[in-house]
A and B are shown apart, each in its own frame.
Chain A
Amino acid sequence: EDQVTQSPEALRLQEGESSSLNCSYTVSGLRGLFWYRQDPGKGPEFLFTLYSAGEEKEKERLKATLTKKESFLHITAPKPEDSATYLCAFQGGSEKLVFGKGTKLTVNP
């Protein structure tokens, strides 16, 4: 069965302290990897789509990378407004989007 595991479950950083979130998967026939950001009480907000190992994408302080077994979301010099839950999702051969449980990021000023 397709599975996605995100770590850590929660991460607390000081403003400016860079770190990485991990997303590992056991999905057959990977067709896409997606990162979303979700604020409390809101729907997930799209960040990145990656389709093949070795692909990287950047947006402001965020950079997403993909290997054959996992994806990383690197956060450089985070600010308090980056506090949110970050979700990754994989789409495999079943064409169902399988989500991880998320990493709750808190950035303290």
Chain B
Amino acid sequence: KAGVTQTPRYLIKTRGQQVTLSCSPISGHRSVSWYQQTPGQGLQFLFEYFSETQRNKGNFPGRFSGRQFSNSRSEMNVSTLELGDSALYLCASSLRGPPETQYFGPGTRLLVL
């Protein structure tokens, strides 16, 4: 089976812009979660989607949003980018969600200038 794929792999934006990241889960997986990874804070949970519905959300501002499509693919959007949003954004999928094992994609490296 193909693993979790994320596009784009690298992205450079400037402050104030917005960005959309995409994630395709493992075939058959219906739960998709997003994480932000920075050197200082480590991996932090953003949100989880299952069957096109957001089931759980982390402690991030409303500038961070997401959605899931009927084919389980998911997108994450960050509006009004700030320098502190520079991070590795990771997507993970599982069959049905917690407490099942989540499998991670390679991530999207976002740099905000």
Binding site for B on A (CB under 8 A): 31-32, 34, 36, 41-46, 49, 51, 87, 89, 91, 94-102
For the A-B complex with A96-B98, A99-B44, A102-B42 known, give 11 more contacts whose Cβ atoms are closer than 8 Å.
Answer: A32-B98, A32-B99, A43-B90, A43-B107, A46-B103, A49-B101, A91-B99, A95-B99, A96-B56, A97-B98, A97-B102
Query: Is there an interface contact between A44 and B90, defined as CB atoms closer than 8 Å?
Result: yes
Grouping DSSP codes into helix (H, G, I), strand (E, B) and loop, the B interface class, with mixed when no group exceeds half, is: strand
Measured between alpha carbons, how far is A64 from B35 in the docked complex, in Å? 24
Binding site for A on B (CB under 8 A): 4, 33, 35, 42-45, 48, 55-56, 58, 90, 97-107, 109
B43, B55, B98, B103: the one contacting A99 at CB < 8 Å is B43
Can you give 16 A-B contacts (C-beta < 8 A)?
A34-B102, A42-B106, A43-B105, A43-B106, A43-B107, A45-B104, A46-B102, A95-B48, A95-B98, A96-B45, A96-B56, A96-B98, A97-B45, A97-B98, A98-B45, A99-B43
